[in-house]
Amino acid sequence: MNRVALITGGARGIGKSIALALAADGWSIALCYRTSADAAEETSAELRALGAQVFTTQADVANPSECERLVRETLTTLGRLDALFNCAGPYHRRAILEETHAGWHEMFDNNLHPVFYLAQLVAPILKEAGWGRIVNFSMANADRMVAQPFVTAHYIAKSGILILTRTLAKVLGPDGITVNAISPGFIDSGSAPLEELENMTRHIPAGYIGELDDVVGAVRYLVSEEARYINGANLQISGGWGL
């Protein structure tokens, strides 16, 4: 069966790696990006080279109407939708008492809210099919609810994703749909300088920075039939960081 995955933030980093892995496994890919047009074009070419059907579009998933268009055009172009991967999730570092109102709202608008918008849109599609996978991306340590003076809004939004994941899992589980979270720690995804990442290794019990393949392996498992009984879980991929 040719399944279809919708991936937000799929032009670069973790989202791109997921797209390439699923394409290699025979999936068709709907790729969504917000600003990375050149990267999205490059990723689309790589996916097509793997023989995958690809639909690529720019969409601001912080906007509910853009989410509606994204899902509608995915169905029109690829004919079906089987899995949703909420990988988009920008962040900024700013001391909490220096945070702006706009910056505060930006973290929720671009991290937490799109997960709700898109899950609400794809749920009826997956329910009708009687099968589906939703994978949301949080962050390692988000379940501990510890103080985060410099990434406060981002951290709260990522913690909210875990609550939303569990809620969706409970609601959609009876329909053959699993909803799980992946919470990466320090992963060499190209979004941070390698030197900065390597400075964190002393805090990671495993002693090294994670690779994109570490995340891809978890995703492949969660979308498989072997993981059909895993629902509402939060899989930390951090080498033990944050324990």
Apex CA 118: angle with CA 105 and CA 36, to 5°? 70
Residue 52 identity: A
Adjacency order of strands within the sheet including 4-8: 54-58, 28-33, 4-8, 83-86, 132-137, 177-184, 234-237
Nearest to 92 by CA among 100, 83, 84: 100
Nearest to 90 by CA among 181, 186, 13, 167: 13
CA distance 163 to 169: 10
State the sign of the Cα–Cα–Cα–Cα dihedral 199, 203, 208, 211: negative
CA distance 133 to 43: 23
- Give catalytic status of residue 155 as yes or no: yes
DSSP state of 56: E
Using the structure block, give the residue that is written with the tokens 């509910």.
64
CA distance 228 to 186: 28
Q: Which residues are CB-neighbours of 71 under 8 A, at least 6 positions away?
A: 6, 81, 118, 121, 122, 125
DSSP state of 35: S
Contact 234, 165 (CB under 8 A): yes
Question: Which member of 33, 91, 117, 155 is catalytic?
Answer: 155
Q: Which are the catalytic amino acids?
A: 155
